[in-house]
Amino acid sequence: MTTSTLPKTRRGSRLMRRTQASPTAYVVLAIVLVGSAFPLWWSYVIGSKDSAAIVQDPFSLVPGGHFLQNASTVVTTVPFWKALGNSIFVSTTVAVLVVLFSAMAGFAFAKLRFRGRNGLLVFVIATMAVPTQLGIVPLFIVMSKLGWIGSLWAVILPSAVSAFGVFWMTQYLQEALPDELIEAARVDGASTLRTFWSIALPAARPGAAMLGLFTFIATWTNFFWPFIILDPGNPTLPVALQQLQAAYFVDYSLVLNGVVLMALPLIVLFVFAGRQLVSGIMQGAVKG
Amino acid sequence: MSVQTPARTTGPLPGDAPGFVSRSPMTPRSGWRRRLTRLDEKGAPYAYVSPFFILFGVVGLFPLLYTAWVSLHKWSLIGGQGDFVGLKNYADVLSQPYFWNALKNTVSIFLLSSVPQVIAALLIAAALDSGLRARTFWRMGVLLPYVVAPVAVALIFSDLFGDKFGLVNHLLGLVGIDPIQWHKEVLPSHVAIATMVNFRWTGYNALIFLAAMQAIPRDYYEAAMIDGAGRIRTFFSITIPQLRATIIFVVITSTIGGLQIFDEPRMYDQYGLGGADRQWQTLTLYLYQLGWTQKNFGRAAAVAWMLFLIVIVFAVVNFLVTRRIASKGQR
């Protein structure tokens, strides 16, 4: 980019193509960007009209003035505020638990020596490819034996372990935490717990934050298991959205209004943390 | 452990405590203390990995294995465990045309979402990898759909792909194409559902490819260009072979996720059965219907186990195929 002011010959610019994008790249990306944003804009447009306006001009891209009016119908049709609170509670708890368990296991795998270490690590990596979602039938049986059907903990616990998280934190701590630091703590007589708490956890913070962010999003958007296990009166947001669809499928102004309301929290999160998400995906890719 | 944590951390840090130096290994310690340290060093690693393994065993591994047990019994959502019936549930399911229909739909939707998605993601990654101005803006732009829940995506596209008043049919009408019955016909409904998947994941995968592309040594490209290779040639002869491992990774993960697809087909209409004639009923949707609508857990478990095996077979086949395709340029 710093060289972009220099005039270039045709051949020169081809050699330097890594530092200057062609117009084609911008055109391709502009199309992708429109494709990414348009469906969201569309749901805002529809969600802000009343049904009469949609019938009159179904394909207008200008929002109507009924967004808040529609929203007030949505939040009284489904238990929206309850669902919002539940989603915040469930996603936060799952993110914290996944980060904690992953950081603990990752610390042991990356920095402690113990018998069976390699075997267990291979096991963790292998389970990343196992579709555990397919265990829902027994999981449901277990939850009903425990009397947990309808409980938020029935949603939280199965999501609270992540083989990917353990793998991620192991990789992260291997790089971010120098062996000398662990050794020094040991020589000073610190227990492994103290080493974990005062040395490993602070070093793991950036990687842990990233893992927490992705876990939060995955839990927030999760539908299948919460849909099975939760009661209609006590849902998370995606389950509430399904209820809204069941109530108003023909009236898209209300359904898509609900979509906007429920997508909004994560879009706000995206505005603030999108940069971290991008670099998280790119770091994970290089390592994975 | 949770009891110890606060007590230990609220105490003075070892390095800060004035008395700490005298407790360093230079001075003799009491025997039990040394033994305690020994125990800590030997046992602690297992304590650190155990929360993951115990919980994973309870909520991950055990249910998966127990599925096999349930599938060998008559088992009702309400009545619970019944008689041992051997492989009868499997035979029943396999003799139902619905199972084969669901398998066909699942594979069709999977192919329509994975193949175009990987190709598009590679192209987007190549565009992102070309020294753009405001590159963070573009990268965030392609990732935006990722934060929208599949349930929400499904509702938006269900409207866009409306049979009568959908925007897609309207636009097709402008170029003289007759309206398509996106919610009635088989293939169009698969296209619509695959579009939802592609919408959410293409940008995400593009960023994975982008990271891998940036790890390719730049001299490779310079050498190829000096030899007179054009952009397209270098893309196929250098970029693609160098991305082999990453392409395999993306294909395998989207295989595992894609074959279990539930949210999008569930929300494509309000009834959630996969269409009036099960045009877009996938295996997971079928599993749900068996287990929670018909309350037949035995059969549902049989479908879950077969889906598990299908996922593994597909993952292995895709691994072999992708490896072949991705390494062609090298040879």
Write down all domains in chain B, each with its CATH number in brackets: 4-71 (no CATH), 89-328 (1.10.3720.10)
Q: What is the pLDDT of residues B133-167, one digit of tens each?
A: 899 999 999 999 999 999 999 999 999 999 988 99
In this structure, which CATH number among 3.40.50.10490, 1.10.3720.10, 2.170.120.12, 3.40.50.300 belongs to the domain A78-248?
1.10.3720.10
Give residue limits of the domains in chain A.
10-65, 78-248
End-to-end CA distance of chain B: 56
Among the partner residues A18, A127, A133, nearest to B218 by beta-carbon distance? A18
Q: What is the mean pLDDT of chain A?
A: 88
Checking if the pLDDT of B13 tops 50, the result is no
A112, A137, A220: best to mutate for the B interface, most B CBs within 10 A = A137
Position A192 scores a pLDDT of 84
Position A56 scores a pLDDT of 79
Among the partner residues B23, B215, B246, nearest to A189 by beta-carbon distance? B23
- Please state, for a pLDDT cut of 70, what percent of chain A lies above it: 92
Position A283 scores a pLDDT of 85
Give me the phi and psi of B24, to 5 degrees please. -70, 165
**Are the beta carbons of B123 and A21 separated by less than 8 Å?**
no
Radius of gyration of the CA atoms of chain A, in A: 24
**B190 Cβ contact list (under 8 Å, min separation 6):** B105, B108, B109, B112, B280
Q: Sort out which chain A residues have CB atoms less than 8 A from B149's CB and list them.
A: 220-221, 223, 237-238, 241, 262-263, 266
Q: Please tell me the distance from the alpha carbon of residue B49 to that of residue B45, in angstroms, as a whole number.
A: 6
Q: In this structure, are residues A21 and B133 in contact, taking their beta carbons and an 8 Å threshold?
A: yes
Least confident of A8-22, B11-25, B51-65: B11-25
Mean pLDDT of B261-285: 94
- Max mean pLDDT among A178-182, A216-220, B16-20 falls in A216-220
Helix (H) or strand (E) holding A240: helix A237-248
Mean pLDDT of B174-189: 95
Position B24 scores a pLDDT of 44
Q: What is the pLDDT of residues B86-115, one digit of tens each?
A: 899 999 999 999 999 999 999 999 999 999
Q: Please tell me the distance from the alpha carbon of residue B298 to that of residue B295, in angstroms, as a whole number.
A: 9
Q: Please tell me the distance from the alpha carbon of residue A264 to that of residue A241, in angstroms, as a whole number.
A: 13
- Residue A210: half-sphere exposure toward Cβ, Cα within 13 Å: 19
* B155 shares contact with chain A (CB less than 8 Å): yes
